[in-house]
Amino acid sequence: MYLVIAEKPSVSQAIARVIGACKRKEGYLEGSDCIVSWCLGHLVEYAAPEKYDEKYHDWRYEDLPIIPLKWELVVSDGKKEQLEIVRKLLKRTDIHFVVNACDAGREGELIFNRVYELSKSKIPVKRLWISSMEESAIREGFRSLKNGEEYKNLYQASLCRAKADWLIGMNATRAFTTTYGKLFRIGRVQTPTLTMLVERQDRIENFAKEIYYKVNLEYQNLIFTSESIKDKKEAEKMEALCNGKTAVVKEIKKEKKKSHPPKLYDLTTLQREANRYFDYTAQETLDILQKLYENKMITYPRTDSQYITEDMAKNLGDIVEKIVESYELSHAILYQPRTNRVVDNEKVSDHHGILITKQAMKENWEELDIRQKNIMHLISQRILKALAEDYLYEQIEVMVACEGCLFFTKGKTEEQLGYEGVELAFQKEFFSGKRGKRNKKGAVEKREVILEQLGVGISLTPVRAKKTEHFTSPPKAYSEDTLLSSMEIAGNKEFDKETEKKGLGTPATRASIIEKLVHSKYAKREGKQIVPTQEGRELISILPDYLKSASMTAEWENQLLKIERGELSSDCFMTGIQNLIMMSLNGCDIIPQKEKNRFCKREKIGICPVCGEEVYEGKKNFYCVNRECHFSLWKENHYLESMKKILDKEMAKELLQQKKTRVKDFYSTKRNRYFEADLCMNIEDGRVNFSLEFPKKSELKNEKYKNKKMK
């Protein structure tokens, strides 16, 4: 008997059908020689700081850093019942081995091993590593199960990533929050991503546009344009000089050019195009892809590769044939698939480029919802484009002279549409109006014919000259498409050529990073744009460069990859993370008091009687801003609690000014009545002690007389 543990119920059910586990039980499926259960994603996660020590319930700077000596796991909300089921299965004596069938990647390894270690099971582990949920792929995967030990480095990398995120998130967030008195959430990857948004927005807002001019010469369907001219009078002079005159062709350059087809989709590229075509967010696209994968329509989507292996190439012809047949595109696409363009064994590590499965071609796509259909259209188009011919064209550049001034134009003549023909066919049938390419094809073709007929020395007369006004443009705000692109290449320019370049996050995590920024209200969507909020800009304004550095975070991703390959120890990586935390705390220690108060909208209550610094009102107390001074007046304290009194702001002000305050509604439990007295504050060794002084009867009479007279 063997046990299979998958990441989700839907995946478990697909596996169970293949290996014959048909009996439904509570939390698992059972067959004659196998059991299949699931994890519901992350069943357990790292415990919050207060789980290690109750003192961490309150955020205090002096309690930092928080670095667990032994990491504790807690059950995720609402998943305790399924965890107990999986734990019991892992302890059964009739199970000879367990198959880790969680998603084939870093997170899948983490999900399984956390549960496995928590159960303290000793059952041998084997690994199912597949890139498709088709029956044939599952059967082949079970025929070639790997020893779980082969993936120990991948697990170590996943542990390091999770621990690093926890350590930086918990420590940096608490450090800067307690330093500035304002909640600032800091993340290992999301903070550098937010930095890119803030820097782009700053450049947009600080951009000073400059005016410049051009002069166009119009002749039939041709427009020749001058270089940019900064001076308006010079442009007007050129316009007047050339208008109605003759232009002579001085130079014609013709160059044969080719554009190679794109590669297959990796996850990030597909997310970018789905955003460009359909305005889907990265997370929406990932959710759609996951559903299609679980329904056996596509191969594993969380991939960073755009290639396939040699042994997979033999199936591409069938896939192309079925796509062409299904879309009825045979009239528009006539070519033999060039599989060599997308085959590279060395560029396929965990998973290959995204493909449509054979199973998908047997299904009725009309039963898919519109979003799933759109993504299937994109993937189908990309497969055909990747295997198509080059796009061949001849580029023509023409220079003319008119009254001593030079003007230029260029165009191209298409010789072979190649992969562009695929996109044209899909755009016509499925993506009409989505990108607007070639909308003016007729006019362009007419213009190219005229260009082809030109020769050096030919006169064009008369030409019409027209001055046009232009402005330099600021950079554009990020869209989901361009942000994903920037995350993918962040920090790359600072690495050696030999260094593996992976940018911020991984293809599987970039969508969630963007969503976290939006959810935390550090960024917001404005139409297709993603822009930082004021809260996000405030966060970036206070952080040191090393906490918001894209290159440092990208380097961490490279180190995690080295851990996966066994080239770097996990201890070395974690030492670097702990050093960063200490650097952050050392930086907070030297922040000037004035800077710490920059977000304080608090009213000054008075002056600290111990050190002379300012005293402000907090949620539970009135405190001295000097961190080294421990003076504090607590609103609720044992001394006042016995008299049913809470220290308010006016009382605190009087105590700080006069060291006493008159209170008229103290309550005596013994006498069951309210009474009046002076609350006195005494300071001993920086600590506050209270006492009562009872006013003389004459003082009370005088006070009553004053109150009566005022009325």
Q: Poorest-confidence range of 329-338, 589-598, 601-610, 640-649?
A: 329-338
pLDDT over 70 percentage in the chain: 92
How many Cα atoms within 13 Å fall on the side-chain side of residue 580? Answer: 26
pLDDT value of residue 500:
53
Q: What angle do CA 368, 374, 376 make, to 5 degrees?
A: 75
- Check residues 366 and 19 and name the one with the higher pLDDT: 19
pLDDT, one tens digit per residue, over 433-463 is 554 444 444 455 556 667 888 899 999 999 9
- Do residues 189 and 168 lie in contact, with contact meaning Cβ atoms separated by under 8 Å? no
pLDDT value of residue 442:
47
pLDDT value of residue 498:
46
pLDDT value of residue 40:
85
Q: How many CB atoms lie within 10 A of CB 523?
A: 25
- The answer on pLDDT for 657 being more than 60 is yes
pLDDT, one tens digit per residue, over 223-248 is 999 999 999 999 999 999 999 999 99
Annotate 577-638 with DSSP letters as a single string: HHHHHHHHHHHHHTS-HHHHTTT--PPEEEE-TTT--EEEE-SSEEEES-TT---EEESS-H
Please give the DSSP secondary-structure letter assigned to residue 476: P
Give the C-alpha separation, 216 to 465, whole Å.
6
- Tokens 């051009």 appear where? 214
pLDDT value of residue 365:
85
Give the C-alpha separation, 217 to 226, whole Å.
8
| Range picked from 98-107, 239-248, 639-648, 686-695 for highest mean pLDDT | 239-248
Reported as type and span, the H/E element at residue 385 is: helix 370-386
- The answer on pLDDT for 472 being more than 50 is yes
User: Average per-residue pLDDT in the chain?
Assistant: 89
pLDDT, one tens digit per residue, over 393-433 is 999 999 999 999 999 999 988 999 899 988 888 877 666 55
pLDDT value of residue 439:
42
Q: What is the mean pLDDT of residues 177-197?
A: 93
CA nearest to 546, candidates 62, 104, 172, 23: 172
Per-residue tokens: 583: 């650097």
Q: What is the mean pLDDT of residues 498-516?
A: 80
Give the C-alpha separation, 374 to 354, whole Å.
15
pLDDT over 90 percentage in the chain: 65
- Check residues 113 and 698 and name the one with the higher pLDDT: 113
Going by pLDDT thresholds of 50, 70 and 90, the confidence category of residue 626 is confident
- Do residues 570 and 576 lie in contact, with contact meaning Cβ atoms separated by under 8 Å? no
Tell me how far apart the 2 most distant CA atoms of the chain are, in Å.
117
Annotate 640-698 with DSSP letters as a single string: HHTTT----HHHHHHHHHHSEEEEEEEEETTTTEEEEEEEEEEEETTEEEEEEEPPPHH
Q: What is the mean pLDDT of residues 201-215?
A: 96
- Check residues 335 and 248 and name the one with the higher pLDDT: 248
- The answer on pLDDT for 385 being more than 90 is yes
pLDDT, one tens digit per residue, over 278-329 is 999 999 999 999 999 999 999 999 888 899 988 788 888 888 888 888 777 7
The reported pTM is 0.79
Give the C-alpha separation, 263 to 266, whole Å.
9
Amino acid identity for residue 23 in this structure:
K
- The answer on pLDDT for 61 being more than 60 is yes
Strand, coil or helix: 104 = coil
- The answer on pLDDT for 12 being more than 70 is yes
- Do residues 17 and 24 lie in contact, with contact meaning Cβ atoms separated by under 8 Å? no
CA nearest to 691, candidates 705, 704, 683, 680: 680
Give the C-alpha separation, 484 to 507, whole Å.
9
pLDDT, one tens digit per residue, over 103-113 is 888 889 999 99
pLDDT, one tens digit per residue, over 121-130 is 999 999 999 8
| Range picked from 55-59, 218-222, 266-270 for highest mean pLDDT | 266-270
Domains of the chain, start order:
2-161 (3.40.50.140), 176-205+479-521+534-593 (1.10.460.10), 211-260+392-471 (2.70.20.10), 267-389 (1.10.290.10), 604-710 (no CATH)
Give the C-alpha separation, 14 to 21, whole Å.
10
- The answer on pLDDT for 502 being more than 70 is no
Please give the DSSP secondary-structure letter assigned to residue 156: H
Beta bridge partners of 34: 2
Choose, from 300, 307, 327, 391, the residue flagged as catalytic. Answer: 300
- The answer on pLDDT for 584 being more than 70 is yes
For residues 547-557, one letter each, b for 16 or more C-beta atoms within 10 angstroms of the residue's C-beta and e for the rest, the string is bbbbebbbbbb
- Check residues 114 and 495 and name the one with the higher pLDDT: 114
Q: What angle do CA 134, 138, 139 make, to 5 degrees?
A: 115
Q: Is 300 a catalytic residue?
A: yes
Please give the DSSP secondary-structure letter assigned to residue 479: B
**Residue ranges of E strands in 472-578:** 523-526, 529-532
Amino acid identity for residue 590 in this structure:
I
